[in-house]
Chains A and B, each alone.
Chain A
Amino acid sequence: MTEHMDAPSVVAPAAEPVIQVTGAAVQLGGRTIWQDVALRVAPGEFLAILGPNGAGKSTLLKAILGLIPLAAGSIRVLGQPARRGNPAIGYVPQRRHFDADVRVRGSDIVRLGLDGGQWGLPLPFLQPDKARVARQRVTEVIDLVGASAYVDRPIGELSGGEQQRLLIAQALVTQPRILALDEPLDSLDLRNQQGVAGVIRHISRVTGAAVLLVAHDVNPILPALDRVVYVAHGQVAVGTPEEVITTETLSRLYGTPIEVLRARDGRIIVVGQSAEEGVSYHAHH
């Protein structure tokens, strides 16, 4: 797949939001994870959810998916309250690898994303048209993520990057308006990180789906980003990377001095975080 370093697409802020988060808060085990979160996501927008470990990045994604109840506020997805099982959202959870002994084809895993939740026996000979459309849809998304070469191999035998591509295809197979990806680049080597990041950027352009991507390292996707959602210490800052990844904003979020350096070649380096929370961002231009 060819990769283009496109400039972030310009999104009209007036467009009807696909996701609207208003005054939202989540409590888990009596602890407030974050509160007063407000967020409007426009169609086709590409957002990264950033922040230190345990800040509640995945929790924000799960709240939008309707998997975690809100303690306050509201989340609306395509005008409806967030609910579990919404086919308008394609979801790739935080990476668990398939064990090497899972011997089911990659194409079957993708297909389950389409109708795996339906009760009853699939009888393709009773509805040949429906079965054909389904097969076509599966083939299309597999082509889209560039996984055609290995869809017939058992998923457990595939590399992390190949599995990740197929799981993204699985999330895409319902033709969602929103794609929610939880750390899709973690646990991949550098070459696969760039490859999968390229696939995600390609998808966001081709399908027009809004992308919400939880990342530990913003670097591989920075060229495609419209805005970042920075979650830290119970608070959330939203804006363009230039607005949010700054000395002032990050210092306020962390409640401790943070310095954001911009190197002459355009890289952004964040310093001053504790080792545990330390993340540095580099932008190559």
Chain B
Amino acid sequence: MPIIDTLGPSWDLVADLQILLHYHFMQNAFLAGTLVALAAALIGYFMVLRGMSFAGHSLANVGFAGATGAVLFGIAPVVGLFFAGLLAALGIHTLNLGERQSRQSDIAVGAILTASLALGFLFIHLATAEYAANVYNILFGNVLGISDGDVGVILRAVGALLVVLAIIGRPLLFASLDPDVAAARGVPVRGLGLGFLVLLALVVAVAVQVVGVLLIFALLVTPAAIAQQVTARPALALMIAVGLAEIFTWLGLAVGFFTPYPVGFFITTFAFVGYMLARGGHWLIQRLQQHGVAMSEGGVA
């Protein structure tokens, strides 16, 4: 769906930016996208570190049932998303699926994921036919349809996340990397694990509007995974993850605006390309290093 049929990029950067930010819906899209990318990249770093990308992704998918259920019962979708996420968080926590992934936890998470998608399917069936069209928005996001009120909700949620993360960030890092020692040092490892899942549910609830429950992986996991390939310094990795998430989001919004194709597709695709480049680059560097070692050893011998 082309946004403005007659517009294409003029390739004059300033003029293009002016057009991009001319419309109120695009201003809202950029605001919401920037905030969501920030929050998702930060929480995503811990998700990758804790080895629970799949559990986190499933928590997002449970949001599908939450959002559709919320509409059915006349609640705001974002509230439904958050409470579904909270329930999923409690489930994951109680079943101890937050531990580093094992085969058993993968199965349990997959079972919960599918059951919740089926529940969402039922809710859509029960809701009016008119609403069924909105399913696309929940699954893939609707960043161009964000209202001023939505921006306000996202702003408050991301603000709360930043404050909480600033307080618990360091013990959470400790507990994520080294739970046994952290527990012996008096760090409330279990409590932090649950707190992390609640924060994740909050991020997912607000991020769904931008990228949808199915594409959220692109902002949560991919930037953090690339950042951890690039550097082993936690603070720097967090900054790189945020930077990448913002770049993917802004590029996706800009390209989506000037082409007839959806924004979510571009955000996800840019993230994927970035990930492939990072993996490829990492592989190449390792090969070169091995080659270099072989060469120097050969030289010594």
Residue ranges of A at the interface with B (Cβ–Cβ < 8 Å):
65, 67, 84-85, 87, 91-93, 96, 98-99, 101-105, 108-109, 112-113, 115-122, 152-154, 167, 170-171
CB distance from B180 to the nearest CB of A (A): 4
CB distance from B172 to the nearest CB of A (A): 10
CB-based contact B170/A116 at 8 Å: yes
CB distance from A90 to the nearest CB of B (A): 9
Q: Kindly state the separation between the CA atoms of A99 and B48 in the bound complex, as whole angstroms.
A: 12
Q: Kindly state the separation between the CA atoms of A120 and B164 in the bound complex, as whole angstroms.
A: 9
CB-based contact B184/A91 at 8 Å: yes
CB-based contact B184/A93 at 8 Å: yes
CB-based contact B49/A102 at 8 Å: yes
Q: Give the 9 A-B residue pairs with the shortest CB-CB distance, closest first.
A: A85-B186, A116-B174, A93-B180, A154-B232, A103-B228, A105-B232, A117-B185, A112-B174, A91-B184
Q: Kindly state the separation between the CA atoms of A98 and B231 in the bound complex, as whole angstroms.
A: 17
CB distance from A66 to the nearest CB of B (A): 8
Main secondary structure of the interface of B (DSSP, over half): helix
Tell which of A99, A109, A120 touches B178, judged by Cβ atoms closer than 8 Å: A109
Q: A65-B184, A85-B185 are in contact. Are A120 and B177 (CB under 8 A)?
A: no
CB distance from B178 to the nearest CB of A (A): 7
How many residue pairs at the A-B interface have CB separations less than 8 Å? 86
Residues from chain B with a CB closer than 8 A to the CB of A92 are 181
CB-based contact B171/A103 at 8 Å: no
CB distance from A107 to the nearest CB of B (A): 9
Tell which of A85, A99, A105, A109 touches B184, judged by Cβ atoms closer than 8 Å: A85
Residues from chain B with a CB closer than 8 A to the CB of A101 are 51
CB-based contact B232/A116 at 8 Å: no
CB-based contact A108/B174 at 8 Å: no
Tell which of B51, B177, B184 touches A104, judged by Cβ atoms closer than 8 Å: B177
Instruction: Render B224-250 as a binary contact track against A, CB cut-off 8 A, 1 for contact.
Output: 000011011110010000000000000
Q: List 14 A-B contacts (CB under 8 A).
A: A84-B183, A87-B185, A91-B184, A93-B181, A102-B49, A112-B177, A112-B178, A116-B178, A116-B185, A117-B187, A120-B166, A121-B166, A152-B232, A171-B181
Q: Kindly state the separation between the CA atoms of A93 and B166 in the bound complex, as whole angstroms.
A: 28
* B72, CB-defined interface residue at 8 Å: no
**Which residues of B from 169 to 198 have beta carbons under 8 Å from A?**
169-171, 173-174, 177-178, 180-187
Q: A112-B177, A116-B182 are in contact. Are A153 and B171 (CB under 8 A)?
A: no
Q: Kindly state the separation between the CA atoms of A112 and B169 in the bound complex, as whole angstroms.
A: 12
CB-based contact B170/A115 at 8 Å: yes
Q: A102-B49, A121-B166 are in contact. Are A113 and B181 (CB under 8 A)?
A: yes
* B167, CB-defined interface residue at 8 Å: yes
* B287, CB-defined interface residue at 8 Å: no
Tell which of B166, B167, B173, B232 touches A103, judged by Cβ atoms closer than 8 Å: B232
Q: Kindly state the separation between the CA atoms of A124 and B170 in the bound complex, as whole angstroms.
A: 14
* B100, CB-defined interface residue at 8 Å: yes
CB-based contact A105/B171 at 8 Å: no
Residues from chain A with a CB closer than 8 A to the CB of B187 are 85, 116-117
Q: Kindly state the separation between the CA atoms of A117 and B51 in the bound complex, as whole angstroms.
A: 21
Residues from chain A with a CB closer than 8 A to the CB of B178 are 109, 112, 116, 170
CB-based contact A104/B49 at 8 Å: yes
* B3, CB-defined interface residue at 8 Å: no
CB-based contact A117/B233 at 8 Å: no
Q: Kindly state the separation between the CA atoms of A105 and B51 in the bound complex, as whole angstroms.
A: 17
Residues from chain A with a CB closer than 8 A to the CB of B229 are 103
Tell which of B49, B171, B183 touches A67, judged by Cβ atoms closer than 8 Å: B183
Q: Kindly state the separation between the CA atoms of A8 and B174 in the bound complex, as whole angstroms.
A: 36
For B169, B187, B232, the residue with the greatest tally of chain A CB atoms inside 10 Å of its CB is B232
Q: A99-B100, A102-B49 are in contact. Are A108 and B234 (CB under 8 A)?
A: yes
Residues from chain A with a CB closer than 8 A to the CB of B228 are 103
Q: Which residue of B lies closest to A120 (CB)?
A: B167
Q: Which residue of B lies closest to A106 (CB)?
A: B232
Q: Kindly state the separation between the CA atoms of A252 and B177 in the bound complex, as whole angstroms.
A: 43
Residues from chain A with a CB closer than 8 A to the CB of B166 are 120-121
Residues from chain B with a CB closer than 8 A to the CB of A115 are 170
* B168, CB-defined interface residue at 8 Å: yes
CB-based contact B181/A105 at 8 Å: no
CB distance from A173 to the nearest CB of B (A): 11
Q: A117-B182, A119-B171 are in contact. List 4 more A-B contacts (CB 8 A).
A: A93-B181, A101-B51, A121-B167, A121-B170
CB distance from B130 to the nearest CB of A (A): 46
Residues from chain B with a CB closer than 8 A to the CB of A104 are 49, 177, 232, 234
CB-based contact B182/A108 at 8 Å: no
CB distance from B299 to the nearest CB of A (A): 21
CB-based contact B170/A84 at 8 Å: no
CB-based contact A116/B184 at 8 Å: no
CB-based contact B167/A84 at 8 Å: no
